[in-house]
């Protein structure tokens, strides 16, 4: 059974839809990359999945339910790492972890056990009592990542995760993602770092002007673009050129 | 922009707009009302005191010192901005056009302070000295002239010395000006004129020294930034100033309070809102300010009805402003995604506001202790707060 099902979703900010008739699924234990040019609709797609925007048409199901049917079950099913870290200026690192654990109904013992591991992995043990104003962009990103992994949900939604992280941070994140995948969690990751996406994603969804242009494994994509030895970068550029042709036509 | 005069005009319009925007809030806010009361009470006390003041009261010395100090504070308003040190650089030799406009504004925007203080002190002068009306107004003119010299003087000093040791300069000017006023008040006009000549010479020394010096952009820009910051900080007591939004302080001495919100899913929003209230200066000082006003009135005004009305009005103001501040939800926050009931945030805000208002009621009740039926103030704060919380959306 799919963890996430996006079925014929149309939506956007104004009357003119940004995403059009979008459909894809993510299965258990899958790492799926959401790739597209700026303005292709990646962020809008993510906003619809996390429920800060509601689809004008179509359905989004997480573990079988829509947000309307069972808000609690839907929200517990995922955690989200935004592109720009969103932290509470008035909470320390420790309090961010504690608040997240409380909100997701995690007991104190589990919180302590999980946060110890995460703090060590991301080398933040010594900053527990710091406020976000003293954190660098990378550290802020790490706080978001730790909060997300603390929850241990069925689906991780990660928007542009590698920007601002140092190489060790990137490695830690990839390790964590790998581990969670093995435990059966699914991950939807939007990124521009195509080489990393190509290396780590099980499947790729190429978004283009609000529609799914192509999706599948790297092999599927190469076939669909008729470029047998292409890297994801090549395919991405091919897609860009395709758009230019359309515009000229 | 054709020339430097236009640069000044457009800066000036922008600046006035900014000041006006916040002045509106200041004069419609709750502190304005308190100020009116204080000025009224002060004026009444002053007039009563004038009836009994002894003729040996050292009015001349006191007025000379106060006016002297006020005159010495003549910080120039240049409205220079950081990019100016790059873009206005080619116009360096013509900057005097700009600065003459700036100094004119500095003079007119500051002269009224000394003028008002002097005019307020005229009844005192009439009561304890034998100065004639003409003499009193001559000294008034002398004060205005000294203010003009002071504005030019401080500007020249800052220009030539780049603001270093400006306090020494201010002290020297304060002494000369105070001496001039003191001589004037003793009808020693000749000595007063000598003091003026000294201050003119003092001013010319630095004015000469600054000729040929490059414009000290860095110093003036910093001065401008500080001035605007202090204005915004002041305005922030009355309204939300976006430039200043939310400075955060840990206030760890209040950490023990958080124990009252135990660990648990149902308390997640309360955990957050409680810390937001305690640690965000805007919210916390709003409560402190309004509670303090209410408490002071309760402690020092002997008419129970007045304390009750003030307690009720301020309870209303605190409740509604705190509630709106804590509920405001413009930006995306992570707690919007939490698997919590929809009304969790609202409920948490309601409870934290209630806690804040119970504390206010206790403080005000304690301060009203000396009055008969002091518990009524306590009850009024609570009842008005609960009603406000219930009725407001």
Is residue B245 predicted with pLDDT exceeding 70?
Answer: no
Domain ranges of chain A: 2-248
User: Cα B32 to chain center, whole Å?
Assistant: 12
Is residue A188 predicted with pLDDT exceeding 90?
Answer: yes
A70 CB near a chain B CB, below 8 Å?
Answer: no
DSSP symbols for B43-63: HHHHHHHHHH--TTS-HHHHH
A-B contacts (CB, under 8 Å): 66
Whether residue B275 sits in one domain with residue B175: no
User: Between residues 135 and 164 of chain A, which touch chain B (CB distance below 8 Å)?
Assistant: 147
DSSP state of B373: T
Whether residue B279 sits in one domain with residue B200: no
A108-to-A113, B80, B262, B362 alpha-carbon distances in Å: 9, 55, 11, 35
Confidence of residue B296 (pLDDT cuts 50, 70, 90): confident
Average pLDDT, chain A: 91
Flag whether B231 is in a domain: yes
Q: Which two tokens stand for residue A20?
A: 């059009």
Flag whether B206 is in a domain: yes
Flag whether B245 is in a domain: no
Flag whether B295 is in a domain: yes
Per residue in A36-88, pLDDT tens?
Answer: 888 889 999 999 999 999 999 999 999 999 999 999 999 999 999 999 999 99
B391 CB near a chain A CB, below 8 Å?
Answer: no
Taking Cα atoms as reference points, which of B191, B178, B101 lies closest to residue B143?
B178
DSSP symbols for B305-340: HHHHHHHHHHHHHHHHHHHHHHH---S--GGGSSSS
Phi/psi for A215 (5° steps) reads: -150, 155
pLDDT for residue B206 = 92
Chain B hits for A108, Cβ within 8 Å: 263
Question: Which one is predicted more confidently, B37 or A179?
Answer: A179
User: Between residues 115 and 134 of chain B, which touch chain A (CB distance below 8 Å)?
Assistant: none
With vertex at residue A147, the alpha carbon angle to CA A167 and CA B352, rounded to the nearest 5 degrees, is 140
Whether residue B133 sits in one domain with residue B80: yes
Number of helices and strands in chain B (H, E): 14, 0
Whether residue B265 sits in one domain with residue B174: no
The rounded distance, in Å, linking the Cα atoms of B46 and B57 is 14
Per residue in A139-166, pLDDT tens?
Answer: 999 999 999 999 999 999 999 998 889 9
Is residue B17 predicted with pLDDT exceeding 70?
Answer: yes
pLDDT for residue A109 = 96
Name the residue among A50, A90, A102 with its Cβ closest to that of B275.
A90
**What burial class does residue A2 get, using C-beta atoms within 10 Å of its C-beta: 0-12 exposed, 13-18 middle, 19+ buried?**
middle
pLDDT for residue B188 = 84
How many structural domains does chain B have?
2
Last residue of a domain, one of B180, B203, B235: B235
Query: Can you say whether the dihedral through the CA atoms of B282, B276, A127, A172 is positive or negative?
Result: negative
Whether residue B285 sits in one domain with residue B178: no
Is residue B246 predicted with pLDDT exceeding 70?
Answer: no
Last residue of a domain, one of B203, B235, B267: B235
Confidence of residue B374 (pLDDT cuts 50, 70, 90): confident
Mean pLDDT of B333-348: 92
Integer-rounded Cα Rg, in Å, for chain B is: 27
B78 CB near a chain A CB, below 8 Å?
Answer: no
Taking Cα atoms as reference points, which of B157, B261, B246, B281 lies closest to residue B207?
B157
Whether residue B272 sits in one domain with residue B199: no
Q: What is the reported pTM?
A: 0.72
Whether residue B282 sits in one domain with residue B198: no
Place of tokens 């003499």: B135
What CATH topology corresponds to A2-248? Rossmann fold (3.40.50)
A78-to-A34, A72, A156, A158, B85 alpha-carbon distances in Å: 17, 11, 6, 10, 52
Is residue A21 predicted with pLDDT exceeding 80?
Answer: yes
SS3 assignment, position B389: helix
- Spell out the alpha helix ranges (H) of B129-257: 133-161, 166-185, 189-209, 217-235
Flag whether B261 is in a domain: yes
CA-based diameter of chain A, in Å? 62
Q: Which of A99, A146, A157 to mutate to test the interface with B (most CBs of B within 10 A)?
A: A99
Per residue in B84-132, pLDDT tens?
Answer: 888 888 888 888 889 999 999 999 999 999 999 999 999 999 888 888 8
Is residue B383 predicted with pLDDT exceeding 70?
Answer: yes
Is residue B211 predicted with pLDDT exceeding 50?
Answer: yes
A76 CB near a chain B CB, below 8 Å?
Answer: yes
Whether residue B199 sits in one domain with residue B98: yes
The rounded distance, in Å, linking the Cα atoms of A119 and A121 is 6
pLDDT for residue A241 = 80
Whether residue B130 sits in one domain with residue B13: yes
Name the residue among A52, A95, A131 with its Cβ closest to that of B248.
A131
Question: Which one is predicted more confidently, B379 or B307?
Answer: B379
* Residue B280 to residue A133, Cβ atoms within 8 A: no
pLDDT for residue A8 = 94
Chain B CA closest to residue A50:
B337
pLDDT for residue A247 = 55
Print the domain residue range for B164: 4-235
Last residue of a domain, one of B210, B235, B260: B235
Confidence of residue A13 (pLDDT cuts 50, 70, 90): confident
User: Between residues 306 and 335 of chain B, which touch chain A (CB distance below 8 Å)?
Assistant: 331-335
Confidence of residue A246 (pLDDT cuts 50, 70, 90): low
* Residue B339 to residue A71, Cβ atoms within 8 A: yes
Flag whether B322 is in a domain: yes
Confidence of residue B267 (pLDDT cuts 50, 70, 90): very high
Mean pLDDT of B278-303: 86
Q: What ipTM score was computed for the predicted complex, to two decimals?
A: 0.92
* Residue A76 to residue B339, Cβ atoms within 8 A: yes
Flag whether B242 is in a domain: no
Whether residue B44 sits in one domain with residue B117: yes
B246 CB near a chain A CB, below 8 Å?
Answer: yes
Per residue in A87-145, pLDDT tens?
Answer: 999 999 999 999 999 999 999 999 999 999 999 999 999 999 999 989 999 999 999 99
With vertex at residue B148, the alpha carbon angle to CA B143 and CA B153, rounded to the nearest 5 degrees, is 115
Confidence of residue B148 (pLDDT cuts 50, 70, 90): very high
Close Cβ partners of B365 (under 8 Å, ≥ 6 residues apart): B374, B375, B377, B378, B381
A188 CB near a chain B CB, below 8 Å?
Answer: no
Whether residue B257 sits in one domain with residue B214: no
* Residue A52 to residue B276, Cβ atoms within 8 A: no
Flag whether B100 is in a domain: yes
**Cβ–Cβ < 8 Å for B278, B254:** yes
Name the residue among A86, A91, A104 with its Cβ closest to that of B339.
A104
Maximum average pLDDT range among B22-31, B273-282, B322-331: B273-282
Confidence of residue B1 (pLDDT cuts 50, 70, 90): very low
Question: Which one is predicted more confidently, B32 or A30?
Answer: A30
Whether residue B279 sits in one domain with residue B158: no
B279 CB near a chain A CB, below 8 Å?
Answer: yes
């Amino acid at each position: 059974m799919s963890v996430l099902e996006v079925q014929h979703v149309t939506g956007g900010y104004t009357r003119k839809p940004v995403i059009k008739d979008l459909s894809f699924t993510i299965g258990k234990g899958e790492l799926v990359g959401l790739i597209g040019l700026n303005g292709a609709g990646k962020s809008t797609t993510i906003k619809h999945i996390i429920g800060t925007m509601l689809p004008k048409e179509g359905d989004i199901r997480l573990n079988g339910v829509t947000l309307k049917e069972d808000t609690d079950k839907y929200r517990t099913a995922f955690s989200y790492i935004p592109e720009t870290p969103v932290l509470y200026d008035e909470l320390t690192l420790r309090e961010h972890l504690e608040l997240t654990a409380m909100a997701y109904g995690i007991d104190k013992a589990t919180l302590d056990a999980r946060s110890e591991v995460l703090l060590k992995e991301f080398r933040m043990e010594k900053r527990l009592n710091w406020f976000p104003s003293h954190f660098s962009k990378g550290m802020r990103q790490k706080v978001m990542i730790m909060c997300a992994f603390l929850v241990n949900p069925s689906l991780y939604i990660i928007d542009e995760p590698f920007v601002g992280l140092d190489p060790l941070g990137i490695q830690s994140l990839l390790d964590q993602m790998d581990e969670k995948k093995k435990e059966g969690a699914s991950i939807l990751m939007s990124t521009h770092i195509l080489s990393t996406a190509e290396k780590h994603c099980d499947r790729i969804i190429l978004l283009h002007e609000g529609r799914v242009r192509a999706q599948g494994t790297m092999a599927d994509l190469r076939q669909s673009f008729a470029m047998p030895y292409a890297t994801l970068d090549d395919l991405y550029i091919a897609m860009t050129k395709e758009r230019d042709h359309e515009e000229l036509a | 922009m054709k020339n430097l005069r236009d640069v000044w005009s457009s800066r000036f319009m922008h600046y006035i707009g900014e000041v006006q925007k916040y002045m509106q809030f200041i004069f419609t806010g709750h502190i304005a009302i308190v100020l009116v009361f204080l000025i009224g009470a002060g004026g009444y006390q002053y007039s009563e005191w004038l009836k009994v003041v002894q003729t040996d009261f050292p009015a001349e010395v006191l007025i000379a010192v106060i006016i002297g100090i006020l005159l010495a504070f003549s910080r120039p308003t240049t409205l220079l901005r950081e990019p100016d040190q790059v873009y206005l650089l080619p116009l360096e030799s013509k900057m005097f056009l700009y600065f003459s406009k700036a100094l004119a504004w500095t003079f007119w925007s500051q002269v009224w302070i000394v003028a008002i203080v002097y005019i307020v002190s005229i009844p005192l002068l009439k009561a304890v000295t034998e100065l004639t009306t003409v003499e009193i107004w001559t000294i008034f003119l002398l004060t205005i002239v000294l203010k003009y010299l002071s504005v030019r003087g401080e500007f020249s000093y800052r220009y030539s010395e780049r603001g270093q040791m400006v306090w020494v300069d201010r002290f020297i000017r304060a002494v000369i000006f105070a001496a001039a006023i003191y001589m004037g008040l003793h009808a020693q006009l000749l000595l007063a004129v000598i003091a003026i000549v000294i201050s003119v010479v003092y001013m010319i020394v630095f004015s000469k020294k600054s000729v040929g010096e490059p414009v000290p952009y860095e110093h003036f820009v910093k001065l401008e930034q500080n001035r605007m910051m202090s204005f915004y900080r002041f305005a922030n007591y009355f309204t939300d100033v976006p430039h200043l939004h939310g400075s955060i302080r840990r206030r760890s001495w209040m950490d023990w309070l958080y124990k009252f919100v135990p660990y648990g899913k149902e308390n997640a929003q309360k955990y957050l809102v409680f810390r937001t209230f305690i640690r965000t200066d805007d919210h916390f000082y709003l409560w402190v300010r309004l509670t303090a006003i209410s408490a002071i009135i309760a402690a020092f005004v002997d008419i129970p009805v007045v304390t009750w009305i003030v307690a009720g009005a301020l309870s209303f103001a605190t409740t509604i402003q705190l509630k709106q501040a804590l509920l405001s939800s413009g930006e995306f926050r992570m707690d919007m995604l939490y698997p919590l009931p929809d009304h969790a945030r609202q409920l948490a805000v309601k409870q934290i506001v209630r806690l804040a208002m119970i504390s206010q009621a206790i403080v005000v009740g304690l301060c009203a202790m000396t009055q008969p039926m002091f518990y009524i103030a306590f009850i009024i704060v609570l009842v008005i707060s609960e009603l406000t919380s219930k009725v407001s959306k």
